[in-house]
């Protein structure tokens, strides 16, 4: 959580908000790849339609989010600190944003692997506790990082009144509640499906901009939104099909366990344990 927040702030500082939003759809891609590498989720079976659907759906949603973001906003990196080499500053901004998306993917996967997928975990059914501890340590390390400005007290005293409500919303809704919902969803479904919804941020932003700010969606933005919706529908269907296949295999294994068939005309009969056979004899 600390790496995610700090690297995002550094990335947006050395580039701009538009570039930072373009990088965010990379989170579900990172999650899907790392989940396969760490064996948290099985490798997609490309012999089936659901295997292709999961990968292509994630990529389609990510591409749709990037198309909407690029079309909606344009801008160049801002040079902070007076350096004439703006390209070098922008490059480091890209590195920070890449680390930001990677950190978020790792955060979700660590939760899934070491907490929600472990039967002996004491926090397996406590997403609120998981979020609270994660948030506490994230806040502590962010506070330590702010000591970089310890010789610049004006950084801590400058607080415009018009920014109170956005900051409160960022603290309690966009950060606290958001991380809580991520942990709860991560407890219920696969990590790749949790992060596959990330591109919806761009879509909802465009829809709210239309109703609240009166901004009109152009053709590319509409197509980008359709890519996101279709991609997520495909991913959801793929996960549903995979879960249904696993349930059918479990039922088949459960029904056939401990039973033997004497002939093709007989029904399945219980297999008598060897201990009982000896006692009967």
Domain limits of the chain? 2-242
Give residue 108's pLDDT.
94
- What is the pLDDT of the chain when averaged over all its residues? 80
Question: Among 13-17, 193-197, 247-251, whose mean pLDDT is lowest?
Answer: 247-251
d(CA 242, CA 35): 16
Highest mean pLDDT (candidates 82-96, 186-200, 210-224): 186-200
Helices (H), 112-177: 127-145, 154-157, 164-169
CA nearest neighbour of 192 among 25, 27, 69: 27
Give residue 273's pLDDT.
54
Q: Would the pLDDT of 141 be above 70?
A: yes
* 8-state DSSP, 212: I
User: What backbone torsions phi and psi does residue 49 show, to the nearest 5 degrees?
Assistant: -70, -35
Radius of gyration of the chain (CA): 25
Contact 214, 37 (CB under 8 A): no
Give residue 37's pLDDT.
87
d(CA 79, CA 217): 31
Q: Would the pLDDT of 259 be above 80?
A: no
pTM of the predicted protein model: 0.76
CA dihedral sign, ordered 178, 183, 189, 195: positive
Beta bridge partners of 260: 269
Above pLDDT 70, what percent of the chain?
83
CA nearest neighbour of 40 among 104, 103, 126, 114: 114
On the 0-12 / 13-18 / 19+ scale of CB atoms within 10 A, 67 is buried
């Amino acid at each position: 959580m600390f790496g995610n927040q700090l690297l995002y702030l550094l990335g947006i500082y050395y580039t701009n908000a538009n570039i930072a939003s373009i990088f965010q759809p990379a989170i579900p891609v990172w999650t899907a790849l790392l989940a396969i590498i760490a064996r948290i989720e099985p490798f997609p079976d490309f012999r089936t339609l659901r295997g292709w659907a999961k990968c292509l759906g994630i990529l389609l949603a990510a591409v749709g989010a990037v198309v909407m973001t690029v079309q909606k906003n344009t801008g160049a990196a801002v040079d902070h600190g007076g350096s004439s080499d703006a390209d070098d500053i922008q490059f480091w901004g890209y590195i920070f944003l890449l680390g930001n998306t990677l950190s978020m993917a790792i955060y979700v996967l660590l939760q899934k692997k070491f907490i929600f997928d472990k039967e002996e975990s004491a926090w397996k059914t406590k997403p609120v506790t998981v979020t609270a501890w994660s948030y506490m340590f994230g806040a502590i390390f962010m506070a330590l990082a702010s000591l970089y400005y310890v010789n610049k007290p004006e950084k801590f005293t400058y607080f415009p009144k018009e920014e109170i409500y956005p900051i409160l919303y960022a603290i309690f809704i966009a950060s606290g509640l958001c991380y809580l919902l991520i942990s709860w969803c991560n407890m219920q479904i696969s990590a790749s499906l949790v992060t596959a919804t990330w591109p919806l941020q761009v879509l909802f932003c465009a829809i709210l901009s239309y109703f609240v700010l009166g901004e009109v969606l152009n053709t590319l933005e509409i197509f980008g939104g359709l890519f996101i919706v279709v991609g997520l529908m495909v991913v959801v269907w793929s996960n549903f099909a995979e879960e249904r296949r696993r349930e059918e295999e479990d039922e088949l294994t459960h029904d056939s366990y401990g039973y033997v068939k004497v002939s093709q005309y007989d029904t399945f009969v219980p297999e008598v344990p060897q201990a009982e056979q000896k006692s009967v004899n």
